[in-house]
Amino acid sequence: MKLLVTGGAGFIGSHYVRTVLDGAWGLGEPDEVVVLDKFTYAGNIENLAPVRDDERLRVVEGDILDRELVDKLIGQADAVVHFAAESHVDRSILGARDFVMTNAVGTQTLLDSALGLGIDKFVHVSTDEVYGSIPEGSWDEDEPLLPNSPYSASKASSDLLARAYHRTHGVPVSITRCSNNYGPYQFPEKVIPLFVTNLIDGANVPLYGEGTNVRDWLHVDDHCRGIHLVLLRGRVGETYNIGGGTELTNKELTGLLLAATGADWDRVDRVTDRLGHDLRYSVDISKITEELGYTPQVDFEQGLADTVDWYRNHREWWEPLKARAALGR
* Of 319, 204, 312, 318, residue with least CA distance to 258: 204
The question of whether 41 is a catalytic residue gets the answer no
The catalytically annotated residue of 37, 86, 128, 143 is 128
Q: How far apart are CA 230 and CA 306, in angstroms?
A: 27
The question of whether 46 is a catalytic residue gets the answer no
Q: Is the dihedral of CA 174, 108, 284, 146 positive or negative?
A: negative
* Of 209, 208, 207, 285, residue with least CA distance to 246: 285
The catalytically annotated residue of 151, 165, 294, 311 is 151
67-74 helix and 106-117 helix, angle to the nearest 10 degrees: 40
Q: How far apart are CA 17 and CA 5, in angstroms?
A: 8
The catalytically annotated residue of 63, 86, 112, 129 is 129
The question of whether 151 is a catalytic residue gets the answer yes
* Residues annotated as part of the active site: 128-129, 151
